[in-house]
């Protein structure tokens, strides 16, 4: 049963209201989901139910499903179910912003989503046109920009903050967790919340509920021997209200076993060239004369991996490839080919 939180106009108090059972079909989901043309898996509906229940209880949460189980979709549908409660702030790695935009368009078509990226002047224009008064439902931005523009963003009363790839918050120097912004609810998304590092876990919990988790040394001492069964159970009980984690093996019973197919691919001529330059430590050929990013070759293995991924990861290679074509290159190659001896 999904629970809805409502605020009365008279006194501003919160009330809980249960959604009608017919609006939550076991397979298809509530009407605001089916109207998009999409269908949630049963475990995703359970995740939506848990997120809404936690929100109604005022419990900040960590959605820690294994990668590939649709944490982004569950989050967007959760925010969409709180349509009139916004605005919402979604912080994600810059490389995933496009995916978030695409999923918002699919699963929350009536949301007005503003992507808050660009240079300083561009962001100032966005704030000028969108924040007085607030016109958007969701502000989608990167973690770095939340840190840079925290002074401007903390002036807004956010109904919910979503942080994708929440391992970024495991640093106790995180400015976001100390920015003083008004945030009613926090939701962290991560596929690996523990990683056998109690200190990192503490910083996640400290970000969620700093009043409860405020003593790092005491937390580390309490769970000093995490290998013991009673310690594990105690930690699970502590995390229970705050974290939901499902694995693919748990929700997809009939999923076939994972298979790996290795396809061997030859290096391109440019890759072979730079591969040899790295092995021979040819600094002059690997670095551009104009300065900029220089290749130090402090880690030969990493540079070789970069070369195998793409030679343009080396600035000098990308600069050579963008030189204008003079129209004589092909002819010169043909002439050179004619001069080669035939066997």
- Do 218 and 301 belong together in one domain? no
Cα 211 from Cα 335, distance rounded (Å)? 76
Residue 87 located in a structural domain = yes
Cis before 133? omega within 30: yes
Domain membership of residue 333 (yes or no) is no
pLDDT band at 23 (very low <50, low <70, confident <90, very high): very low
Q: Both 81 and 34 in a single domain?
A: yes
Distance CA 214, CA 59 (A): 17
Confidence of residue 17 (pLDDT cuts 50, 70, 90): very low
Domain boundary among 251, 276, 311: 251
Q: Is residue 332 part of a domain?
A: no
Q: Residue 326's pLDDT band (boundaries 50, 70, 90)?
A: very low
Nearest to 212 by CA among 176, 239, 194: 239
Domain that holds residue 268: 260-323
Q: What is the CATH number of the domain that holds 179?
A: 3.40.50.10810
343 in any annotated domain: no
Q: Specify the higher pLDDT residue, 327 or 134.
A: 134
In a domain, 329, yes or no: no
Tell me, yes or no, whether 264 and 242 share the same domain: no
pLDDT in tens, 101-112: 999 999 999 999
User: Cα separations (Å) of 295 from 285, 289, 319?
Assistant: 10, 12, 14
Contact 176, 170 (CB under 8 A): no
Distance between CA 177 and CA 165 in Å, rounded? 15
Q: Is the pLDDT of residue 292 over 60?
A: no
Count up the domains in the chain and report the number.
Answer: 2
Does residue 215 sit in the same domain as residue 295? no
Residue 290 φ/ψ region, left for φ over 0, alpha for ψ in the -120 to 50 degree band, beta for the rest: alpha
Distance CA 279, CA 323 (A): 26
Judge if 10 and 146 occupy the same domain.
Answer: yes
pLDDT bracket for residue 254 (50, 70, 90): confident
Contact (Cβ atoms closer than 8 angstroms) between residue 142 and residue 97 = yes
């Amino acid at each position: 049963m999904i629970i809805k939180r409502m605020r009365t106009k008279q006194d501003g108090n919160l009330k809980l209201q249960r959604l009608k059972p017919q609006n939550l079909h076991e397979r298809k989901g509530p009407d605001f989901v089916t109207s998009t043309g999409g269908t949630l898996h049963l475990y995703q509906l359970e995740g939506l139910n848990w997120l809404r229940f936690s929100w109604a209880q005022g419990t900040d949460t960590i959605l820690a499903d294994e990668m590939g189980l649709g944490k982004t979709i569950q989050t967007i549908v959760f925010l969409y179910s709180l349509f009139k409660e916004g605005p919402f702030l979604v912080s994600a790695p810059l490389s995933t912003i496009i995916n978030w935009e695409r999923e918002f368009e699919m699963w929350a078509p009536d949301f007005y989503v503003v992507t808050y990226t660009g240079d300083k002047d561009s962001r100032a224009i966005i704030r000028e046109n969108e924040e007085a008064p607030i016109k958007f439902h969701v502000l989608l931005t990167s973690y770095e920009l939340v840190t840079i523009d925290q002074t401007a963003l903390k002036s807004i009363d956010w109904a919910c903050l979503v942080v994708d790839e929440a391992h970024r918050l495991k640093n106790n120097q995180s400015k976001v967790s100390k920015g003083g912004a008004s945030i009613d609810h926090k939701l962290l998304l991560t596929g690996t919340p523990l990683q056998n590092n109690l200190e990192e876990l503490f910083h996640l919990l400290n970000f969620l509920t700093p009043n409860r988790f405020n003593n790092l040394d005491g937390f580390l001492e309490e769970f000093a021997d995490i290998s013991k069964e009673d310690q594990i159970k105690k930690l699970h009980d502590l995390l229970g209200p705050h974290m939901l984690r499902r694995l693919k093996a748990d929700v997809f019973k009939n999923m076939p076993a994972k298979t790996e197919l290795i396809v061997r691919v030859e290096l391109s001529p440019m890759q072979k060239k730079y591969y040899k330059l790295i092995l021979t430590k040819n600094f002059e050929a690997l670095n551009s004369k104009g300065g900029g990013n220089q290749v130090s070759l402090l880690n030969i293995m990493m540079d070789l991996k970069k070369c195998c991924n793409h030679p343009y990861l080396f600035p000098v290679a990308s600069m050579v490839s963008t030189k204008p074509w003079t129209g004589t290159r092909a002819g010169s190659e043909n002439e050179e080919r004619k001069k080669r001896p035939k066997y």
